[in-house]
Amino acid sequence: MANGAFTAHVASEVAKRKKVMLAIRNEAAQRTVEAMQEPGPSMATTKKAIAIGVGLGKLKANGARGVSKRAFGPVRSGGAGHLPIDTGFLRSSLVALNGRQTPAQIKAPEGGGTFTYDEGQVTLVIASAALSNPITVAYSAIYARKMEARYRFVSLAAQQWQRIVDETTRDAQARMR
């Protein structure tokens, strides 16, 4: 192999590997975000839980429902994750940024309501970040740190990073065969 052909071959292989590394980083980041966002315990109050039908007891003969004992205090229901859910504001406050900056903290709007998480912004930032650029994913809700200290939904997801990268790498290697 001539020297120029060898150099071109090495450059081609390096470019392929960088594309694979970027794909693995992006998929691992997305999976880690999904672990952070996995709903955990519902933090709905008794009144709110009853209003949405959680914590209601068995149907009585007269058609009414009693309130179960588990409805008093925070109602524990939800997914297998650790992110506490009440109105969804905390979950919907997740943002991703290119670089190491942190998002401005925001308060929940007056009057409450329910909020929905749109993963599009996070996915777009992850997909557009160069391999050499750090990605910051953080909750902007003003009370996010307090909730993290109690429920550890971010740190428990971050602890899975190496496993997720290994799993994503195996998936990529299987696709390349």
> What would the pLDDT profile of 19-65 be if each residue is shown by its tens digit?
999 999 999 999 999 999 998 877 665 555 555 455 455 555 665 55
In terms of C-beta density within 10 A (0-12 exposed, 13-18 middle, 19 or more buried), how is residue 23 classed? middle
Q: Do residues 33 and 71 share a domain?
A: no
Please report, for residues 21, 58, 80, 118, 138, the alpha-carbon distance to residue 141 in angstroms, rounded to integers and kept in the order given.
32, 37, 22, 15, 9
74 and 127 fall within a common domain: no
Give the CA distances from residue 61 to residues 56, 64, 65, 66, 71, in Å, rounded to whole numbers and listed in that order.
15, 7, 9, 11, 21
If asked whether residues 101 and 50 sit together in one domain, one would say no
Q: Is 123 exposed, middle or buried (0-12, 13-18, 19+ CB in 10 A)?
A: middle
Domain check: are 66 and 115 in the same one? no
- β-pairing, 65-67 with 135-139? unpaired
Are residues 65 and 32 part of one domain?
no
pLDDT above 90 (res 160): yes
- The answer to whether the beta carbons of residues 89 and 137 sit under 8 Å apart is no
Mark whether 149 and 175 lie in a shared domain: yes
64, 126: one domain: no
- What is the arithmetic mean of pLDDT over 93-110? 94
Is residue 86 within 8 A of residue 42, CB to CB? The reply is yes
Same domain, 173 and 123: yes
Q: How confident is residue 66, by pLDDT bands cut at 50, 70 and 90?
A: low
- Please report the pLDDT score of residue 3 as a whole number: 77
Residues 57 and 142 placed together within one structural domain of the fold = no
Q: What is the pLDDT of residue 74?
A: 47
Q: Do residues 126 and 144 share a domain?
A: yes
Domain holding 140, by residue range, is 21-38+81-177
Tell me which range, 37-41, 54-58, 74-78, 168-172, is most confidently predicted by mean pLDDT: 168-172
DSSP letter at 159? Answer: T
Mean pLDDT for 151-160 is 96
Whether residue 102 is found in the same domain as residue 129: yes
The reply to whether 15 falls in a domain is no
Residues 71 and 129 in one domain: no
- Written as six digits, the tokens of 2 are 């001539």
Number of domains in the chain: 2
pTM for the model stands at 0.77
